[in-house]
Structure 1
Amino acid sequence: MKTLRSVFFYFTIVWSTILLGASAVILFYTTRKHAAPHACSRLWGKVHLWAAGVRVEVKGLENIDPTKPCIYAANHQSWFDIFAILAKLPVEFRWLAKEELFKIPILGIAMTANGYIPIDRSDRRKAFASLNRAALIVRNGASIVIFPEGTRSPDGVLQDFRMGGFVLALKSQQPIVPISISGSYRILPKHGGWKIHPGVIQLTIGAPIPTAGLTSKDREDLVQAVRQAIRAHLTEREGGLLPDHSSV
Structure 2
Amino acid sequence: MANGRLTGGIDGAPLWGGSKADAVRDFAKTHKIVLSHSYAYTNGNEDIAFLKTVRQAAVVNPKRALSEVAHSESWRELHFSRRRKASVATRARSLGAYCALVLTSLGGAVYGVTTGKKRMAAEWISATSSDAMLAITGVHIDVQGENHLWEHRPSVFLFNHQSYIDGYVLLSLLRHGVTGITKKEVAKTPILGSLLRALDFAFIDRNDTHSAIEAMEPVIDKLREGLSIVIAPEGTRSLTPKLGRFKKGAFHIAMQAGVPIVPVVIRNDYEMMMRNSLLFRPGTVQVCVLPPFDVTKWNVKDINCHIAEVQEIFQRTLDDWPEV
Aligned equivalents of 2:279, 2:149: Cα separation in 1: 34
Aligned equivalents of 2:187, 2:265: Cα separation in 1: 26
Matched, 1:87 2:165: no
The one-letter code of the counterpart of 1:112 is R
1:124-143 maps to which residues of 2 (within 5 A)? 124-143=209-228
Q: RMSD of the TM alignment (CA)?
A: 2.3
Percent of matched pairs sharing the same residue:
26
Which residue number in structure 1 is paired with residue 316 of structure 2?
A: 232
* Structure with more contact order per residue of length (Cα contacts < 8 Å, sep ≥ 6): 1
Are residues 223 and 185 of structure 1, via their aligned partners in 2, closer, same or farther at CA, if it must alter by over 3 Å? same
Matched, 1:220 2:320: no
Q: Deviations over 1:3-57 (max 9, x none)?
A: 1232223312432332223344444443345233112101111122112211111
Larger Cα-atom Rg = 2
Aligned equivalents of 2:314, 2:116: Cα separation in 1: 37
Are residues 110 and 223 of structure 1, via their aligned partners in 2, closer, same or farther at CA, if it must alter by over 3 Å? same
Which residue number in structure 2 is paired with residue 198 of structure 1?
A: 282
Q: Alpha-carbon deviation of 1:87?
A: 1.0
Aligned equivalents of 1:176, 1:137: Cα separation in 2: 15
Aligned equivalents of 1:231, 1:25: Cα separation in 2: 40
Q: Alpha-carbon deviation of 1:230?
A: 1.9
* Local SS of the residue matching 2:287: strand
Aligned equivalents of 1:34, 1:52: Cα separation in 2: 27
Residue 211 of structure 1 is aligned with which of 288, 295, 305?
295
Are residues 83 and 227 of structure 1, via their aligned partners in 2, closer, same or farther at CA, if it must alter by over 3 Å? same
Which residue number in structure 2 is paired with residue 19 of structure 1?
A: 103
TM-score by length of 1: 0.86
Which residue number in structure 1 is paired with residue 320 of structure 2?
A: 242
Which residue number in structure 1 is paired with residue 89 of structure 2?
A: 5
Aligned equivalents of 1:87, 1:208: Cα separation in 2: 20
Aligned equivalents of 2:313, 2:118: Cα separation in 1: 33
TM-score by length of 2: 0.67
Contact kept, 8 Å, 1:135 with 1:171, in 2: the verdict is yes
Contact kept, 8 Å, 2:97 with 2:137, in 1: the verdict is no
Q: How many residues align?
A: 239
Contact kept, 8 Å, 2:166 with 2:269, in 1: the verdict is yes
Aligned equivalents of 1:93, 1:195: Cα separation in 2: 26
Are residues 198 and 10 of structure 1, via their aligned partners in 2, closer, same or farther at CA, if it must alter by over 3 Å? closer
Tell me, which stretches of 5 or more residues in structure 2 are unaligned? 1-84
* Local SS of the residue matching 2:317: coil
The one-letter code of the counterpart of 2:128 is L
Tell me, which stretches of 5 or more residues in structure 1 are unaligned? 235-240
